[in-house]
Amino acid sequence: MTLRFIGTTSEHGNCPTLYEVVETGDILVQGERETDPEHLAQLRDVKESETFVVIPRELLTRFAPKE
């Protein structure tokens, strides 16, 4: 599958970054892994294959697709 760079609010190649999976329109999010035990304990229905990343609100408001 092909990724299309959408945008980032970071400098010098650091995350967070948004990408689109061209063939499906899905959004791929790159960011720092959430490790706070209190936050992780509050998450629901987590599959073994899933992970969670922290994304600054500014990144989403500037670059997330509006559709």
What per-residue confidence (pLDDT) applies to 64? 75
Q: What is the pTM of this model?
A: 0.77
pLDDT in tens, 21-48: 999 999 999 999 999 999 999 999 999 9
Q: What is the mean pLDDT of residues 12-16?
A: 78
Q: In angstroms, what CA-CA distances link 52 with 22, 39, 41?
A: 22, 10, 12
What per-residue confidence (pLDDT) applies to 67? 67
Share of the chain above pLDDT 70, in %: 97
